[in-house]
Structure 1
Amino acid sequence: MTTFNYITIGLSLTSLIVSIWTFWLTRIKNGQVKMTKPTIIFFGPDGGGERHNKVFIRTLLYSTSDRGQYVQNMFIRLSRGESVQNFNVWVYDDKGLARGSGLFISKTGIACNHHFLLPKDQDNYPFLAGDYLLQVFIEPVNSNPQQIFEQTLKLTKEQSDEMKVKSAGTYFDWAPNSQTYFSHVDVRPKEDKEISDLIKVLTGSKK
């Protein structure tokens, strides 16, 4: 057998191994659910000062494999100093608002709004001034919760005070050119209040 034949066989075996490895990674292995950096993050009341505060994000969830994964729940953990609070009532919009009851995350991904609220029997969470660590968790089927994103955010005293006076919320908008979030306080628009009323129905909240 000539040297050329050995090289040809070696290249063929290498190509076969790469093909098998790629097939396993994309078709057989479950892969991971990941998310893009949210274009917007919101801290504030769910449509008005009389309602509980919530956290809202707009993001794309996607799978690293062709198989995709089923996610049965999501929640946000918000930390400020020694204070830790889970926002575990999940509502998302996918051709209409729906109480979080499971999503199939494919390789192409799904982009939607996610609302994270407190249980209706829990005391309201005050957004005090300080540095916050926001962590996003998913709960895959038959698996423990997994963290897929975290971001530090700063809420100034002026913003915190203004939120209390105006019953408004603070928006954190992602600026890709500067790779940072810019924050501003704003009163929820009318359409957001209508959304919050629908969330109220979906979550069974009477507040």
Structure 2
Amino acid sequence: MSRPTQVFIGPDGPNFEGEPKIKLNFLLYSTARTGRVLETIFVRVRNGETIQSFPIWVFGNRSGLNRGSGLYVSPEGIAGEHHFLMAADDKSFILKAGKLKIDVVARLIGDSNDIELGSCSIQVSPEHAQALTNKNCAVFYDWGGERREYQGKIDERLSVEQLESFAPSIIEAIASSKAGKKE
């Protein structure tokens, strides 16, 4: 795999209302002339002394996502977004400030052992770790080619409750705007 160009850490869903996930954007390629088929991929996240597995794999891009259940990888490669979610019985991911290492592990069809496709390391600032305690916050880490490190950016979304609280004032503003145009 290539180095991930972006790493997302935060809740799943468009408004960050879901469970914790890790999203990586990278290119998968095969060194075999005929390509290989991945049976599954998962990530292992190491943060300090804590090791957390994200075994549920979803693959795709903005036009569509599919639950990972096999993927043919040619020598030319396939780029996409890889979403990794926690198992249903494990929702206790807490990110701490410090070094974070994400290992991407796969099982190839026909092989009996898992292989590590690659890994990336991120320095999590105290500010980023604190932001991730807010259920409506996520952190995007983008690879800076010149700096040769990941740069983080906090993204906070409004919760459904916050959006609903704005609805009456938005409706009033639209109604006032339309009433003003009719006069």
Secondary structure at 1:177 match in 2: coil
Secondary structure at 1:165 match in 2: coil
Q: Alpha-carbon deviations, 1:152-179, whole Å to 9, x = none? A: 1111111121232362111110111222
Q: Alpha-carbon deviations, 1:122-145, whole Å to 9, x = none? A: 233112222111100111012111
- Does residue 117 in structure 1 map to residue 85 in structure 2? yes
Partner Cα distance (1:164, 1:81) in 2: 17
Given the alignment, which residue of 115, 120, 129 partners 2:97? 129
- For 1:157, the aligned partner's letter is P
TM-score (norm 2): 0.79
Cα RMSD of the aligned pairs, angstroms, is 2.0
Partner Cα distance (1:174, 1:50) in 2: 26
Q: Which residue of 1 aligns with 2:12?
A: 46
Structure having the higher Rg? 1
From the superposition, tell whether residues 88 and 188 of structure 1 become closer, same or farther in structure 2 (CA, over 3 Å).
farther
From the superposition, tell whether residues 60 and 188 of structure 1 become closer, same or farther in structure 2 (CA, over 3 Å).
farther
From the superposition, tell whether residues 114 and 188 of structure 1 become closer, same or farther in structure 2 (CA, over 3 Å).
farther
Unaligned ranges ≥5, structure 1: 1-34, 190-207
Given the alignment, which residue of 129, 146, 151 partners 1:177? 146
Q: Which runs of 4+ in 1 moved over 6 A?
A: none
Identify which range, 41-50 or 103-112, moves more after superposition: 41-50
Partner Cα distance (1:73, 1:43) in 2: 21
- For 1:180, the aligned partner's letter is E
Q: Which residue of 2 aligns with 1:104?
A: 72
- Does residue 87 in structure 1 map to residue 54 in structure 2? yes
Count of matched residue positions in the alignment of Structure 1 and Structure 2:
156
Richer in strand (by share): 2
Contact persistence 1:53–1:126 (CA under 8 A):
no
Secondary structure at 2:29 match in 1: strand
Within a 5 Å distance, the mapping from 1:124-203 to structure 2 comes to 124-143=92-111, 144-165=113-134, 167-187=136-156
